Amino acid sequence: MKLFIGASEECDRKAALEIVNQIKEKPDSVIGLATGSTPVGMYQNLIRMNHAGEVSFFRVKTFNLDEYVGIPRAHPCSYYYFMQENLFRDIDIPADAVSLPNGNAPDLEEECRSYEEKIAESGGIDLQVLGIGHNGHIGFNEPNTPFDSVTHVVDLTESTIQANSRFFDSIDQVPRQALSMGIKTIMHARKILLIVKGADKADIIYKALRGPVTPEVPASILQLHPNVSVYVDNAAGVKL
């Protein structure tokens, strides 16, 4: 595992460079993407480098980790909307090259199966971007999700609903379910880029990287992945 601890902007810049280098090496890379506040600065770097002609996403395919169940794509809190606003609309990626699980599919179980299949058909994820939740979740894989899980329907925990309510007008509006790649799906990525920011993540990143590998801390499984880069800002890195 490669660990970098430094200024938040350095984390954004270095993480973006890893993605750019991946795409330079393999222009048709399959990239797994994440939402949340953590990757926004990195996405801004990617947009800047795309505009500067340093990288093209024209042949790239992307798969997002997760999506809420039951809110329209056009809803400002949907992850589809987040990705359009924070990355896709500003880079040269073709519209049909981006995939997120469809949280409005009539048959959610079938949607999960077909999402997993679509990832496999693309050749598998070359590089997966991750953040970490306060409870150690990756994607929406909450504590005690089996390590062998693939894309599935998730009942969100109270702590995640609470954390995500900051994006909604009220906590009642936060969906109670989501679709998420499973832990096995994530571990199948050939490379993983974990970004962690803020003093409120100091405890959980310490547990994830230095504690036992346990389903109680889903991100702890990353200790077993052969190719992980972790970018931790100074505030989150105080215990490491």
Applying CB under 6 A, does 136 fall inside the site for ligand PGA? Answer: no
Applying CB under 6 A, does 29 fall inside the site for ligand PGA? Answer: no
CA proximity to 114, closest of 62, 72, 150, 73? 150
- How many residues touch ligand PGA under the rule CB under 6 A: the total is 6
Among 8, 22, 29, 38, binds ligand PGA (CB under 6 A): 38
Distance separating alpha carbons of residues 82 and 89, to the nearest angstrom:
10
Distance separating alpha carbons of residues 89 and 79, to the nearest angstrom:
14
Stretch that binds ligand PGA, among 2-10, 31-39, 180-188, 216-224 (CB under 6 A): 31-39
CA proximity to 101, closest of 85, 78, 120, 124? 78
Applying CB under 6 A, does 41 fall inside the site for ligand PGA? Answer: no
Q: Answer whether 141's CB lies under 8 Å from 149's CB.
A: yes
Applying CB under 6 A, does 11 fall inside the site for ligand PGA? Answer: no
CA proximity to 63, closest of 22, 97, 15, 40? 97
Stretch that binds ligand PGA, among 107-115, 120-128, 131-139, 183-191 (CB under 6 A): 131-139
Cβ nearer to ligand PGA, comparing 28 with 200 = 200
Among 32, 41, 103, 133, binds ligand PGA (CB under 6 A): 133
Applying CB under 6 A, does 183 fall inside the site for ligand PGA? Answer: no
Cα distance between the two ends of the chain: 13
- The residue assigned the tokens 């109680």 is 216
Q: Answer whether 13's CB lies under 8 Å from 48's CB.
A: no
Applying CB under 6 A, does 131 fall inside the site for ligand PGA? Answer: yes
Cβ nearer to ligand PGA, comparing 124 with 198 = 198
Q: Answer whether 236's CB lies under 8 Å from 198's CB.
A: yes
Applying CB under 6 A, does 37 fall inside the site for ligand PGA? Answer: yes
- Binding stretches for ligand PGA (CB under 6 A): 36-38, 131-133
The residues annotated with a catalytic role in the active site are: 66, 135, 137, 142
